[in-house]
Homo-oligomer: A and B are copies of this chain.
Amino acid sequence: MASIPALHIGFVLFPDMTQLDFTGPAQVLTRMGNTTIELVAKSLDPVSTDAGFTLQPTATFAAARMPDILFVPGGFGVVPAMEDAETVAWVRQAGEQAQWVTAVCTGALLLGAAGLLKGYRATTHWASHHSLALFGAEPVHERYVFDRNRVTGGGVTAGIDFGLALVAAIRGDDHAKFVQLSIEYDPQPPFDAGSPDKVEPDILDRYKKMVARMASDRDARTRAVAEKLSAS
């Protein structure tokens, strides 16, 4: 692997993130060969995730290297992250110089809040898809979306498909297949319930009610972030 170009990946962490948004892509992208990574956050304090365990940042925004690949995960914590000037400023700075500017799940909204999706086709978690347009992105219903150097994936597990597609774009199809074989990615979901147009309506309704209960102010706060960005 020594003969392939080195790539530095900066994974952004923030409190109450969805950990699989990060850990799925991290598993795939770090098998590209000749990568270095940093887990970048506001401080070096452990970062809470939605799965009940923490992740340990390795660099603060103040000290982190500028990445070749910028990656942003999502989760309920993305709203406070979008509202945090320091987080948004680092994402913007990193994104303006990165070779690849990427996100999975609602991480796309943080890219949006940093002004990085204006005029770009993009996707995000199905339940937040309507928010992409607030940031001037063109919402696309695909598992992952490439537009120039912006690459975005759908909700959570889309990060594995996203990761393999990005490995293919950077290192070629054969290496992506090699990685896919190594992680035995031959999915066999026990149900066909992974998208809102496939699941039974009562389960979809229950999910929407749960989100409304857990994040009732999410849309209003996202709009406020977008309005502030437009005015700046």
A41 at the A/B interface (Cβ < 8 Å)? no
A143 at the A/B interface (Cβ < 8 Å)? yes
A43 at the A/B interface (Cβ < 8 Å)? no
A26 at the A/B interface (Cβ < 8 Å)? yes
A164 touches B181 (CB 8 A): no
A190 touches B161 (CB 8 A): yes
A189 CB to closest chain B CB (Å) equals 6
Also in contact, A55 and B58, with CB within 8 A (given A160-B157, A177-B203, A184-B155): no
A96 CB to closest chain B CB (Å) equals 25
A143 CB to closest chain B CB (Å) equals 4
Kindly identify, within residues 25 to 61 of chain A, every residue whose CB is under 8 Å from any CB belonging to chain B.
26-27, 30, 35-37, 39, 46, 50-56, 58
B190 touches A206 (CB 8 A): no
Checking B27, B156, B206 against A51 with a beta-carbon cut-off of 8 angstroms, the contacting residue is B27
A57 CB to closest chain B CB (Å) equals 9
Chain A residues engaging chain B, CB cutoff 8 angstroms: 18-20, 23-24, 26-27, 30, 35-37, 39, 46, 50-56, 58, 105, 125-126, 143, 154-158, 160-161, 164-165, 168, 173-174, 176-178, 180-196, 198-200, 203-204, 206-207
